[in-house]
Structure 1
Amino acid sequence: MTATRTSSLRIAVAQLNPVVGDIAGNLAKARAARKEAAGQGADLVLFTELFIAGYPPEDLILKPAFVKACEEAVDALVADTADGGPAIAIGTPLKRSSGLHNGLVVADAGERLAERFKIDLPNYGEFDEKRVFQAGPEIQGPVGVRGVRIGFPICEDIWGDLGICETLAESGAEILLVPNGSPYYRGKVDIRQQVVVRQVVESGLPILYANQLGGQDELVFDGASFALQADRSLAFQAPQFEEGLFLTVWERNGEEWRCVEAPVGAIPQAEEADYSACMLGLRDYVDKNGFRDVVLGLSGGIDSAICAALAVDALGADRVRTLMMPYRYTSKDSLRDAEDCARALGIRHDTVAIAEPVEGFTEALSRLFAGTETGVTEENLQSRARGTILMAVSNKFGSMVVTTGNKSEMSVGYATLYGDMNGGFNPIKDLYKMQVYALSRWRNAHLPKGALGPLGEVIPRNIIDKAPSAELRPDQTDQDSLPPYPVLDDILECLVEGEMGVDEIVARGHDRELVHRIEHLLYIAEYKRRQAAPGVKITRKNFGRDRRYPITNRFRDRS
């Protein structure tokens, strides 16, 4: 706003949880954050990518009425800055003569100081921005905000190799502020910091990286905003998986700016981070879609047990109910384990026997099935009876059904359509079986930050220790149909995350015929996965947004 050089700048980072499409709600959040920042003496509030719209808005962006409403909300926020409080930099879609852009508005004293457009539009994995946005036509220079020349690259602008940060530095930028919508996967915090280190080296400037928080369908945005000094040292680290407004204080030392005051917190690792992501993703899916509570089948197995624990931690025990739906093959151990798990979590637990509906289906089908062998079809009737009962409870009481299948099962089709696949959301959809075990052990020893569940062992030891079984026939175990899970998971990670060839996987010590079989099962189960409930993305390549294989597919890697 002024050309006068200043020696200090107080920047508040708004690491908030917007809701896609809730323009009025997101505007209210922005106003509340700006008011809080004013109380902290901030000069500028940095919001995240497309904050007013919520991120990612996907094809909502194609509706002119939506883009217009976003513009009007930003106009209102720009007008607010006439009160003498902090300036703002906020992400929003912008329809201009050059096209529809993923944009940023910088405003102070009631005026728009500048608009900036995202140059490098991501078009990989979960990102599909080239579908709806036009890239900015050119790299736009720094913006003068209260005597400081600030560059505003937007998210992917610092991930690619277009030299945007270096160009901003050459154009006179003194600090780079980067609004982001960067979703979680395991190890993502380290990857982001490596990206920023590279840009600090190339530009010679300090970088403040603001990241969105919250669950949006299958994606979880984990926050963990941070800043690096020009010497690449960490100056600021916001918490992961926590909403907040964080003040960073910057001072000029000669020609260099340094962050001299900011919180620096610890970042959770490994199982703690994965569990927190699953918890946040489930909570936001339920709350943002208006469900009062959830229901799930609690079978006495580890998958349903960890889903129950996640639901209680995310929502509280009073918003979770479970059903045990026994049949003749349900063991006494499973009945006891389910009861013990429900008791440890403090949740309502009911029993609904499925003998009558299963036998009713069997009798109704007896003429059609005459002369055939009893097998998987009859086993699946048990699963489908359970799925129907859960959906009936959902319809009657408005509870969302939590689906409980893990990534190992979904990979090879070890799940029943319209049975155990029924439901609205799956918090462990992107966790392999061995990761489910690891998270279960971790949860029994820790209470995650922000969790609403109890301390101590919530997943009974016997559930973790016993052999997993669908209990659809006498003495059944998963390993009757599948290789041991450590072997299966390694092969699947190679095929799914690594896109490795059969020869490469065999070279890791796996049997060739087994790899061929798992690859075949992976491909033919695609039609099931297309009909599966959404679930939290944890790995680099989840089913759905990241891995988009054709259902009709005859390719097999056979050399």
Structure 2
Amino acid sequence: MKDGFIKCAVASPTVRVADTTFNTASILTLIREADEKQVKVLVFPELVTTAYSCADLFLHKRLQQGWEAAVSAILEMSRELDMLIVFGSPVMVHGSLYNCALSIHKGRLLSVVPKLHLPNYQEFYEKRWFSTPREGNEEVTLFGQKTWFGTHLLLTCTSLEELVVANEICEDLWVPLSPSTSHALAGATVITNCSASDELVGKEEYRRSLVASQSAKLVCAYLYSDAGYGESSTDLVFTPHDLIYENGQCLGESFDVSDALLITELDVQRLQLERVRLQSFSEQPEGYIRIPFTLDVGHCTLTRHYEKAPFVPSDERGREARCEKILRLQALGLKKRLEHTTCKSVVIGLSGGLDSTLALLVSVRAFDLLGLERKHIVAVTMPGFG
């Protein structure tokens, strides 16, 4: 966590439909592994305590008792861990059933965020079982403790002020106005998505583009955890597809892999500074509640890849394309200037260095674009001493 870096992970545990005992064991196993690897933020899929494809079993009292026991077990295990854990589970509030993302830290249920957009088209029937929440927040008592339930909640780390976490769930990302847009404007730098996205031809690429675009547009980190193996194949086929993006850059991706951690480090200070530079995040939405939590500050071993020359592609083909792009942009700029001033000739001093050589190449390209003869480019050699 030093210098703004935070180690995070997403995981897709193998589940069994309506078998909360098995699912809890799968979740706890990955939590232990994450703790050993010093993960500070861990995200699991949508409805992972029960499995997503329980259908009408969601309405059975026995399954409700099972997910309550699962949440209690995760709460108990988290007491000794320095980790923010986000996972999906059904939750009953005021007699209505909601599809929720729960955030837990050191035995404390920080927040319960209900899914705002319930898909109810084609192969999806979520409104058959789950209620659509009203926008807003309220304090409720769940799992033996008071917590916040609502759609406008931010988790703020007191030991790393740039780490502000907000949640959305699966379909929330796919709608025209995602909740994460409002979350980011309110100050969230990390968006988690507990998802259960079924697999279709072409959907993998579209899902990747959605996460990449959202993280770039919102200048945030986006942690996407997809449902793993074990979901029912009665109507759908699920293949785990986990993604971690930061400001449009892919930091980690795994496809068709369950029971493994996808780990990387987020640079939340960099995200915050980029937002200050852009000046696009000054509008603060109303109605948000900030919930504090504290992570221990310690050494964070970096595993993410940094290019030695970030502005120069490492592969030859990419490098040639980048150089051609730069040359063309400079030539177009000079072309416009020559047209505007009706200038028909240029004089260039050549020292033998890179800058003056580039200036000559740009001039040649600009003259070619204008249809002017190159003989009107006058190059004067100006060798330096030494």
TM-score, length-normalised on structure 2? 0.62
CA RMSD of aligned residues (A): 2.5
For residues 5 and 202 of structure 1, do their structure 2 counterparts lie closer, same or farther at Cα, with a shift above 3 Å needed? Answer: same
Partner of 1:37: 34
Asked if residue 53 in structure 1 is aligned to residue 50 in structure 2, the reply is: yes
The CA deviation at 1:8 is: 2.2
After superposition, what is the alpha-carbon deviation per residue over 1:20-69, rounded to whole angstroms, capped at 9, x for unaligned? 11100101111111111111111122111000011122111111331232
> 1:256 is matched by which residue type in structure 2?
Q
For residues 250 and 136 of structure 1, do their structure 2 counterparts lie closer, same or farther at Cα, with a shift above 3 Å needed? Answer: same
For residues 222 and 262 of structure 1, do their structure 2 counterparts lie closer, same or farther at Cα, with a shift above 3 Å needed? Answer: farther
Tell me which of 147, 171, 176 is aligned to 2:186.
171
Partner of 1:228: 245
Tell me which of 214, 218, 221 is aligned to 1:199.
214
For 1:48 and 1:233, the matched residues in 2 are separated by 22
On the 8 A contact 1:250/1:257 being kept in 2, the answer is no
For 1:180 and 1:257, the matched residues in 2 are separated by 29
Find runs of 4+ consecutive structure 1 residues off by over 4 angstroms: 257-260
For 2:41 and 2:204, the matched residues in 1 are separated by 25
The CA deviation at 1:93 is: 0.2
Tell me which of 158, 164, 169 is aligned to 1:149.
164
On the 8 A contact 1:98/1:137 being kept in 2, the answer is no
The CA deviation at 1:196 is: 2.0
On the 8 A contact 2:48/2:87 being kept in 1, the answer is yes
The CA deviation at 1:188 is: 1.4
For 1:5 and 1:94, the matched residues in 2 are separated by 36
Partner of 1:347: none
> 1:220 is matched by which residue type in structure 2?
V
For 2:224 and 2:124, the matched residues in 1 are separated by 19
Asked if residue 158 in structure 1 is aligned to residue 170 in structure 2, the reply is: no
1:415-494 aligned at under 5 Å gives the runs: none
Residue range with higher mean Cα deviation, 160-169 or 201-210: 201-210
Higher relative contact order (CA 8 A, sep 6+): 2
SS at match of 1:37: helix
SS at match of 2:225: strand
For 1:229 and 1:207, the matched residues in 2 are separated by 6
The CA deviation at 1:255 is: 4.2
> 1:41 is matched by which residue type in structure 2?
Q
> 2:131 is matched by which residue type in structure 1?
Q
The CA deviation at 1:5 is: 10
Where does structure 1 lack aligned partners over 5 or more consecutive residues?
264-559
The CA deviation at 1:199 is: 2.3
For 1:169 and 1:262, the matched residues in 2 are separated by 24
Where does structure 2 lack aligned partners over 5 or more consecutive residues?
136-150, 275-299, 306-386
Identity of aligned residues (%): 24
> 1:184 is matched by which residue type in structure 2?
E
The CA deviation at 1:98 is: 6.9
Tell me which of 205, 208, 213 is aligned to 2:223.
208
Question: Per residue, is there more helix in 1 or in 2?
Answer: 1
Partner of 2:112: 115
Question: Per residue, is there more strand in 1 or in 2?
Answer: 2
1:80-99 aligned at under 5 Å gives the runs: 80-97=77-94, 99=96
For residues 61 and 205 of structure 1, do their structure 2 counterparts lie closer, same or farther at Cα, with a shift above 3 Å needed? Answer: same
Tell me which of 250, 253, 261 is aligned to 2:269.
253
Residue range with higher mean Cα deviation, 38-47 or 241-250: 241-250
After superposition, what is the alpha-carbon deviation per residue over 1:315-343, rounded to whole angstroms, capped at 9, x for unaligned? xxxxxxxxxxxxxxxxxxxxxxxxxxxxx
Tell me the matched-pair count. 259
SS at match of 1:49: coil
Tell me which of 170, 193, 203 is aligned to 1:188.
203
For 2:237 and 2:55, the matched residues in 1 are separated by 15
After superposition, what is the alpha-carbon deviation per residue over 1:127-186, rounded to whole angstroms, capped at 9, x for unaligned? 110111012221322223564211111100111123311100112101111111011111
